[in-house]
Structure 1
């Protein structure tokens, strides 16, 4: 046997497979995710359970509100709540005397709250009220529905019948609220326009009244001026007529009287009765004119106010006498 070198052992090299490494990594990741999910469930199991209980209690409360509204309506309409016994906070037996007392003692709610629930029931009806409670509508939502007009409440009822969530009903409420806001703005604008027109008409009317008053005042002043002018002219006419009468009496009439008196003295012809008749006629005319217009007789009112008349008369007599003497 020929001696020689021993062959070296062959080293087996493992060839890495990238695909197999990826699968292994994914498996580890999935294991970690499952562990985290399990830990999450374990950590939050109790809070989630409590939340579920609260949701169940809330649903029960909402259903109870519907029942409370129905009982409240029935009792208030029938009056059968009166005399119902109950125990007060001190354990004493009492009997219900009013609907407010019934709400507190038997329904566990205030009268105001029971009245709100009753209004919701009457607005929506029993079936739709239960549906809105299931959808989770709140008291503020019910108040908004009750404030709507009858046609819009009917739209809400139809929406409640088809809605799957509270948000769907709220969307319609918000749409109606926006519509109301636009209508209110339009009404406000119209009111402001009308108020502006009224103010303009009032200002125009006031201006016309001022113009009318100014014209009336101007006309009144003209009337006064015309009246004063008439008075001045009438006084002048009266003075002129008086002067003519006085001139006639003191002139031609006086001379005629003087001639008649001279004839009486020279021929013995007495004309005094004739002259008395003439003077009487003149006096009757003057007295009638004085009485017709209620003119005072200065002969009966001789005082300081009318003294100038007598002074003027005395002066006139003196002038006429002098003139008469000269003529004769």
Structure 2
């Protein structure tokens, strides 16, 4: 039996969906729910339910203090609090000997990532990145890794997602990271995962087009060069006000092009001979994250989104911020290639 607890409701839908899915497994016991001292009004605004109602649904005690929560009989914890609290809470849980899943993004500061990196532990630390469990992204990763289109010359990733403005904490970049801190995680992490290469140079341009209530850019375009020579174009549109595909990707290689637009098909393989659609999309990213977390706890897999991945990502975020502020390109240190 794996005893799992939920800490925080700030991430809203994800917090309740994660636990509701895990609760279905016979080997999972929901041991405790913690609202981190937030009011019922705050929780309901974020998660569309109250902490009391949700804890009763899970048949688990409701705890208001995080330190008291960690004293419960737990094997693993899901951290779904405000982003600014992620590292502090993850550090405390790891020090208690618990497996930890932290919702996206882990953090938006290189110093925070380094602090967690200095925390000794022998448990699973899985960082959230729902797109790594989206069928189209998984399929593109597998096909690129298999060399289907040969060496990748260029990769374009576009993420389109409305800026989160409903809650006060989401409108405060110091607590949420703002649109750029929240969604650019997808861009940098996926570019590295898909190409197996780290960015060594980037130039970023950003502007706030539609969300003046959130200081900082909501729309960003980044041009980058990777350690293996692949060029990337990374785009974030958080200023949209219409239905739009969440993620679009196009990888151009020596032997063809792979495209996904997250409509009906996971990918499209395109050459001069024609276009071949991939499989129909049926994935559930939230389920994928939790299934992977359980596999990691069981020792059947290693974290798909590790602390190392997130430390790299926040270094990219920091470099892009500096590039946007200075109007000049920024360089990043070379790292060992990943797969």
Question: TM-score, structure 1 length as denominator?
Answer: 0.19
- Point out the structure with max Rg over C-alpha: 1
Structure number with greater CO (CA < 8 Å, separation at least 6) is 2
Bigger fraction of residues in helix:
1
